[in-house]
Amino acid sequence: MEIDIEKNARAQQAMANFKEGYNCSQAVLLAFADRINMDKSTALKLSSSFGGGMGRLREVCGAVSGMFMVAGLLYGYDEPRDLQGKTEHYARIQELAEEFRIRNGSIVCKELLGLKEKESSPIPEKRTEEYYKKRPCVQLIGMAAAIMEQYMDEH
């Protein structure tokens, strides 16, 4: 399936959110706040811990985590004994992860950024033109939002 993030409104919104200064997870979740009926402040606080691959630990990409949060809020289960609902949702999350992995090579922040080691500093880098030139984050955020929107359109 073809995805053009340049023509995808949610992808464009997510990328603009990131360029405004929100972290990768916040940028994606905020782009869907209207669809998940969540106010901006709650969406931003909920997703604030997942930027930089979870608090700059460079684990699962924050854009992917944001995509998963959207999926959970739209399609997730809320009964602890709902084995079928849990199974269906985990299958959905695995499908979304695989789509992102196919398009980008990984769902792990460190690998997507080409880093040899995890970051040890909690201090985020300043967002400069040089920052945006050396990081694929804007495009990854756009792709996560576009994948999520396409999933929503199909389901």
The SS3 of residue 108 is strand
| Each residue's pLDDT tens digit, 33-68 | 999 999 999 999 999 999 999 999 999 999 999 999
Instruction: Give the contacts of 29 (CB within 8 A, at least 6 positions apart).
Output: 36, 38, 43, 44, 46, 47, 66, 69, 70
What digits encode the pLDDT tens for the residues 122-152? 888 898 888 888 899 999 999 999 999 999 9
pTM of the model: 0.95
Please give the DSSP secondary-structure letter assigned to residue 60.
B
114 Cβ neighbours under 8 A, 6+ residues apart: none
